[in-house]
Every structure is written in C-alpha cells, then in structure tokens.
Copies of this chain bind each other. A is one copy, B any other.
C-alpha cells in the first residue's frame, strides 16, 4: 500500500488536509513575580467533576485548559483564546498564568498540593506520582495536540488499497504508522518548537544537571523532564503489541496505571488500552509540545497548522522497513537533540532538512496554501540559523529580561493585562453579538458544553449531562413560548392583552381624517394626552397636553399640526414621569435601568468638544456594535440641541452645568445607562414581573413610565404606565452600565436553562 500514490491518483489532497484538532494546555497559576501560587483552584470555575474546559492537572495550582475538537484548526485556537480570556478575567486579582512549561519559584514541596479532585482515586494517583517522580517534576506543563483524520479520508483510502481486508484494521495501522513516524522524527519538532531551555535551580531534587549558564533545547523532553524511566518500552508495531506491552508495565507495578505512560504519542479511542482492540484507534494524542511564551495562549496558529502538516507527513512518509526499531531510534535522537545547545547547529541537521524538504514537497502535491508552504520553508531555514528557532529566540529573551522567572512573570502580567483590554468581549468570537459573547464567557467559566451552531445567527447549543438547550441572541430559548414574541411584536395586541390583565396602559385612538379627529375632542377633554403623527420623525408634529386638554381649539390646532406630518394621527394618554427599563427573568426583576440622553457636565474650564472627547475616552464607549456604550457624536442633531441651550461645541459650560447633546435617550446615540435596580421601589419590580407573565414570557424587557420611583405603585396612570414589552431584551447595558452596579444577566439565563447546575 502506497498512501502517497493513492492520494495522488485519486486527487485526495483536499480530503487529506481535513481533520479534527483539539488542544489541551497545562500551565501554572503564579504570583505577579512568576512564583507558583499555593491557593486552591478558584471556585468560580465551577466543578472539576464535569468541567469540559477548565480542569487541574497534577497540582492544585496547575490549570489544564481544554478546547473541544474542531474541524477548522482556527476554531481550536479561537477556543483556546476564549478559555484563556475567561480564566485570566476570573483569576484573583493577584494571580497570573505562567507562560512557560518549566515552573519557576516553586513553593516548598510540603506546600505543593496535588489537585483536590472529588474522586479519591484521582488524588491517590497523584500522590503516587509524587512518590515516583517528586513534586517538582510533576509541575511541568505542556500542550497536548489531539488529532483525528477525516473519517471520509480513511474510508476513501481503505477503498483504494488492498493490503487490509478490515476497515478497522486498516485504520489502526494508519494511526500506528503515524505514531511510529512521529516518534521517529519528533526531534525535528523539538528542534523547531521547543521552549524549555532552562529552569529554576530548585526544580531538581538532586542538583541541576545544567552547568551554570548552560541552555538546552528542551529540558522537558530530555531525561530530566517529564518522562518515564528509560527502560519502559511500549511497542507501536500493532495495537495488540501496544496493549500487551503497556499492560505488562502496569501489571509489573512499574507503572501505577496506563496513564502514567508518558509517551509523546498516545493511541486514543478507549478508556483502557485493551478496548482499542475492539473500538479501534480513533485519534492520536501528541504530547510533545512546550508552551510558547511568545504566543499569548501557548501556541501560535501558524505553528498549530505546521504541526498538523507534520502529522500529515507521518502518513505521507512510507515506513522505513530498514529501520526495525524506529520508535527507539526516535526516542534516543530526541533525547540527544533536546539536550543540545539551542544556539548551536543540531547534530541531525541533514536529516531534519531532508524531512522538511519532503514535507514541503508534500504540501505542494496536496495543494496546500502558499502561506503554509512559505511557513514550512521558514522552518527549513531555521536549521541553518538555530538562533531563529523558538528556543533560540527564547534564550535571548530570557537574558534580556534578566532571568527565567523574571521573563515569565513579565509575559504573565502582560497577557493578563491584555485579556482585560476589552473586558466585555470574548476576543476570538468578536464577530458575534456582545451579549452572546458574555453568555459564552459564562458558559465556558461554569463548564457547560457548547456548540456554536451558527455564528452569524448567534445560535448556540448548550449541554450539561443529557440535558441540552438552544440559545439564540443571548436569551431566546425554549423557556419562552412561541406566542409571547408574537404578542410583543404587535403593539395593538400587546396593549389589549395588558389592559385586559389589568395593567395601566396608555390608550390611544387613531384617526385618518382631521374632522373626525377634532370631533373626537369630548373623548379626551380634561385628559393629559400626546397628539402625534403615527410615524414620528425627529419629534415633528407632536403636541403634549401634560396638564390635560381643556380647550377644543387648542386640541384642534394640535391635530392639524400632526396631520401636516402624516396621514394618520394618534391621540394617546400622556404619561408623566421617567422611563425605566425592567429586565425580568421568570419571577424576578433582575435589573432596572435608566437611560439618559447623551450629555456632558461642565467643569468651568473645558469646551463642550473637550468634555465630549473626555467622556468618549471611557473604555465602554466605541463607535460600532463592539462596545457596550457608544461615543457621543457632534453632528447636526447634537449641534442643534446645543443651540437650543444657547451653546456651541466651543462654549465652556460652567462647573456642574448639565449640557444635553440629544433629546432621545438611546444608548446607540451616546446615551448613558444607569443601573437603578436597588433604588426602584419593589412594587414596580413586581408589576414588571406581572406584565411579563401576562405576555406569557420567561424573559422580557418592560418599559415603565414612573414619576416617583420611591413611592409604591398605585392602580392609575398617574402612578405608572407600561409603554412597551420587549422580547429578546438587551443585556449588555445592564451588564456594563455607564454607572451603577453591573448585573450579570447572562448568568441568570444559564441558571434558568440549567437549574441543576449551581451557578
């Protein structure tokens, strides 16, 4: 069977490049100085008994961040970024993530706590590791790269060969070949991508094997790293031999469990190796990779793609039948290269260059992108220039920083600061709505499984155990009934339903003729009304009788003015008071917000323009949809508004003078959002819940007009009135208000969907 030939002849290049990648990344929580913390795994990350994304590895301080598998490697890296942002923003203020594999500033061994998992067996296993390897060695972190071939590729390859009769057997041998070739040539990836040139003195129980000032390519992959005893040899010749040899070491007591086998390639697809015989190998776990401190999340997208191509090459490359023990050969070569000086040429440069050249040829054959080919060529060049390898650059950076721990601490602080730059967003998913990003943040934090069904449509599938839910646009869920938004969409129906349920609703009548409208005067006499064209434009044609209409001629004049603007005119009850938005979920008003039209407050020195600029520099304000608040513009409408106050953009308002820049209170035109939840009298909160129930809704944004938020509600329009009920209400303005307390509504949405989870 010649795989290359089958791929070439059947033009399977595209299919060959498909595959699924998931990443697991370990790292230590550290103090600002880079030293490892002794605090417990933060409770905010929910329960490690099920968390799919945020776990602990060996030690309580050692985070293990896990992406779900993705068909596009870009998505895997987006997940890695998102999980990091969640972790960095959730950690205590004085904790950071160490960006390198080898720990620095280790606490005394008695202060290092193994991960406090719920299952006592998991804790016992870790205690065993302590006895075998010492605590320090177990504190090393790395990246595991899980890779599955596209099942369609495997199926197509199988159909086009005649060596194997059984599809499972074929698949097993394909993965075994990959494993063997990977182990044979893994030293190349260490040469190019390793990043553990040194470590703190105190890491070693028996004194450092490094001379003063000595750097190596990869301590982690060397005999001093996170490896089994050299005589633990497991066969990759067949699944049967793999299982037999692995079980031998466990049965003989040299390994406490199969998972103590620290090979750089693990065969995956079953909890116990023996089950691989039945299930077949489903994917491979590559465990070689050091954390790259130059990548904010431990690995760059380019390197992840390069590794993918390297793995493809392990299929492309024919087995070298002249080398019977490729695995052992590879292991010893790895150990040698790992201990080389990172700034010197490698002993196996020739082999490395040959392999990468062949890899490039493969990329060209299978139609890989120009970018990927160029990137591989860059790697090839690094054999001539060891200083350009990751480790070469790292050594220089450590020296510039003045030490290993210092360098790591510097990067750790920088990464954390960066994660807070746009603290309201999830950078990797910033093409989605902010409210959905906030929900995704909470989902990742609490450990609910998430699948993004449609990014443009903000459509998520969430799962916890067997229980799954769909969410669209942050709070559209199965908890709302189909009819609720249909009622709310129709303002006439909404009014009828709310009026019937006994709520204070401003009534309105619509007229299509001036005469008919004027003749209707008696219906309104004495009442406070708003007369307005049905479709209002910039407030033109609106007359308000706040004190009630008492003169027929005044009424007729107002009707006439309104008819100048539209063919249809409305006469509506006028409600005196302030408009508040109530965010209701289930039986509770979770947030009350006051929206204030765009404004600045004078300081007696700055011009309006300067005051606006200063206000616009607030981190929550931006131009588009990518920030919770919007910058105040100084366009025609704002300048007109200034003019009405006798001001221009160059006026200097007096100290504490309120300058209105808009008449409307929309956040989208620079308005301020002010949380008033705690200030609002409870009776209005109860009313908003009742209105939500009358709408048949689980989640609802209720707009009430209230003259005095401190007085209890009464059953008349002078006390309060409901002017709108909104489905899919906005959440960002409550989560990140301009002033007042933040209300993390997305967590309430999750609580509603998954009451079984204690969030």
The residues of A with any CB-CB pair to B shorter than 8 Å are: 10-15, 152, 156, 367, 453-454, 457, 459, 461, 470-472, 476-487, 490, 492-493, 496-497, 516, 519-523, 525, 552, 696, 727
Cβ contacts under 8 Å, A492 to chain B: 453-454, 457
Q: A15-B522, A490-B457, A522-B10 are in contact. Are A472 and B483 (CB under 8 A)?
A: yes
Question: Across the interface, do B522 and A454 meet the contact criterion of CB distance under 8 Å?
Answer: no
**Which residue of B is nearest A485, CB measured?**
B482
CA distance A525 to B471 in the complex (A): 37
Additional A-B contacts beyond A10-B522, A459-B487, A476-B486 (4; CB < 8 A): A14-B519, A477-B483, A482-B485, A482-B727
Cβ contacts under 8 Å, A156 to chain B: 522, 525
Of B10, B459, B481, B522, the contact of A482 (CB 8 Å cutoff): B481
CA distance A484 to B485 in the complex (A): 13
Which of A152, A453, A521, A552 gathers most chain B CB within 10 Å?
A453
| Shortest Cβ distance from residue A482 to the other chain B in the assembled complex, whole angstroms | 4
CA distance A727 to B484 in the complex (A): 15
| Shortest Cβ distance from residue A362 to the other chain B in the assembled complex, whole angstroms | 16
Of B10, B459, B471, B496, the contact of A453 (CB 8 Å cutoff): B496
Cβ contacts under 8 Å, A477 to chain B: 481-483
Cβ contacts under 8 Å, A525 to chain B: 10, 156
Cβ contacts under 8 Å, A696 to chain B: 470, 478
Cβ contacts under 8 Å, A496 to chain B: 453, 461
Cβ contacts under 8 Å, A484 to chain B: 478, 482
Question: Across the interface, do A481 and B483 meet the contact criterion of CB distance under 8 Å?
Answer: no
**Which residue of B is nearest A152, CB measured?**
B523
CA distance A521 to B367 in the complex (A): 14
Question: Across the interface, do A519 and B13 meet the contact criterion of CB distance under 8 Å?
Answer: yes
CA distance A350 to B354 in the complex (A): 123
| Shortest Cβ distance from residue A563 to the other chain B in the assembled complex, whole angstroms | 18
Report copies per complex. 2
Of B480, B487, B523, the contact of A14 (CB 8 Å cutoff): B523
Q: A482-B481, A523-B15 are in contact. Are A459 and B152 (CB under 8 A)?
A: no
CA distance A471 to B152 in the complex (A): 47
**Which residue of B is nearest A696, CB measured?**
B478
| Shortest Cβ distance from residue A132 to the other chain B in the assembled complex, whole angstroms | 43
Cβ contacts under 8 Å, A552 to chain B: 11
| Shortest Cβ distance from residue A664 to the other chain B in the assembled complex, whole angstroms | 28
**Which residue of B is nearest A153, CB measured?**
B522
CA distance A61 to B314 in the complex (A): 91
Question: Across the interface, do B12 and A493 meet the contact criterion of CB distance under 8 Å?
Answer: no
Question: Across the interface, do A11 and B490 meet the contact criterion of CB distance under 8 Å?
Answer: no
**Which residue of B is nearest A494, CB measured?**
B453
CA distance A538 to B453 in the complex (A): 30
Cβ contacts under 8 Å, A461 to chain B: 496-497
CA distance A480 to B482 in the complex (A): 5
| Shortest Cβ distance from residue A263 to the other chain B in the assembled complex, whole angstroms | 33
CA distance A13 to B13 in the complex (A): 85
**Which residue of B is nearest A150, CB measured?**
B523
| Shortest Cβ distance from residue A569 to the other chain B in the assembled complex, whole angstroms | 15
CA distance A497 to B471 in the complex (A): 13
**Which residue of B is nearest A521, CB measured?**
B11
Cβ contacts under 8 Å, A14 to chain B: 516, 519-520, 522-523
CA distance A457 to B492 in the complex (A): 10
**Which residue of B is nearest A472, CB measured?**
B486
CA distance A520 to B17 in the complex (A): 11
Question: Across the interface, do A454 and B493 meet the contact criterion of CB distance under 8 Å?
Answer: yes
CA distance A288 to B194 in the complex (A): 102
Question: Across the interface, do B482 and A11 meet the contact criterion of CB distance under 8 Å?
Answer: no
The 7 closest A-B pairs by CB, nearest first: A480-B482, A478-B481, A478-B483, A453-B493, A470-B483, A14-B519, A12-B522
| Shortest Cβ distance from residue A150 to the other chain B in the assembled complex, whole angstroms | 9
Question: Across the interface, do B483 and A519 meet the contact criterion of CB distance under 8 Å?
Answer: no
| Shortest Cβ distance from residue A51 to the other chain B in the assembled complex, whole angstroms | 22
Of B453, B454, B493, the contact of A457 (CB 8 Å cutoff): B493
Cβ contacts under 8 Å, A485 to chain B: 482
CA distance A459 to B521 in the complex (A): 30
CA distance A476 to B476 in the complex (A): 17
CA distance A13 to B454 in the complex (A): 59
Cβ contacts under 8 Å, A480 to chain B: 481-483
16 contacts between A and B (CB under 8 A): A10-B522, A11-B521, A13-B519, A14-B522, A14-B523, A457-B490, A459-B486, A461-B496, A470-B483, A470-B696, A471-B483, A472-B483, A477-B482, A478-B483, A480-B482, A482-B482
| Shortest Cβ distance from residue A710 to the other chain B in the assembled complex, whole angstroms | 32
Cβ contacts under 8 Å, A521 to chain B: 11
| Shortest Cβ distance from residue A343 to the other chain B in the assembled complex, whole angstroms | 42
CA distance A152 to B526 in the complex (A): 12
CA distance A520 to B11 in the complex (A): 9
Q: A470-B487, A490-B457, A496-B453 are in contact. Are A11 and B522 (CB under 8 A)?
A: yes
CA distance A49 to B15 in the complex (A): 71
Question: Across the interface, do A11 and B493 meet the contact criterion of CB distance under 8 Å?
Answer: no
CA distance A493 to B455 in the complex (A): 10
CA distance A12 to B521 in the complex (A): 8
Cβ contacts under 8 Å, A479 to chain B: 481-482
CA distance A483 to B468 in the complex (A): 13
CA distance A15 to B479 in the complex (A): 44
CA distance A519 to B365 in the complex (A): 13
**Which residue of B is nearest A697, CB measured?**
B482
Cβ contacts under 8 Å, A457 to chain B: 490, 492-493
Question: Across the interface, do B459 and A519 meet the contact criterion of CB distance under 8 Å?
Answer: no
CA distance A471 to B516 in the complex (A): 33
| Shortest Cβ distance from residue A382 to the other chain B in the assembled complex, whole angstroms | 31
**Which residue of B is nearest A526, CB measured?**
B159
| Shortest Cβ distance from residue A481 to the other chain B in the assembled complex, whole angstroms | 4
CA distance A15 to B461 in the complex (A): 56
| Shortest Cβ distance from residue A586 to the other chain B in the assembled complex, whole angstroms | 14
| Shortest Cβ distance from residue A555 to the other chain B in the assembled complex, whole angstroms | 11
CA distance A487 to B482 in the complex (A): 12
| Shortest Cβ distance from residue A508 to the other chain B in the assembled complex, whole angstroms | 15
Cβ contacts under 8 Å, A727 to chain B: 482
Question: Across the interface, do A453 and B15 meet the contact criterion of CB distance under 8 Å?
Answer: no
Cβ contacts under 8 Å, A13 to chain B: 519
| Shortest Cβ distance from residue A548 to the other chain B in the assembled complex, whole angstroms | 14
CA distance A457 to B489 in the complex (A): 11
Question: Across the interface, do B470 and A478 meet the contact criterion of CB distance under 8 Å?
Answer: no
CA distance A476 to B485 in the complex (A): 11
**Which residue of B is nearest A486, CB measured?**
B472
CA distance A499 to B736 in the complex (A): 38
Which of A10, A152, A485, A487 gathers most chain B CB within 10 Å?
A487
| Shortest Cβ distance from residue A372 to the other chain B in the assembled complex, whole angstroms | 15
CA distance A497 to B477 in the complex (A): 15
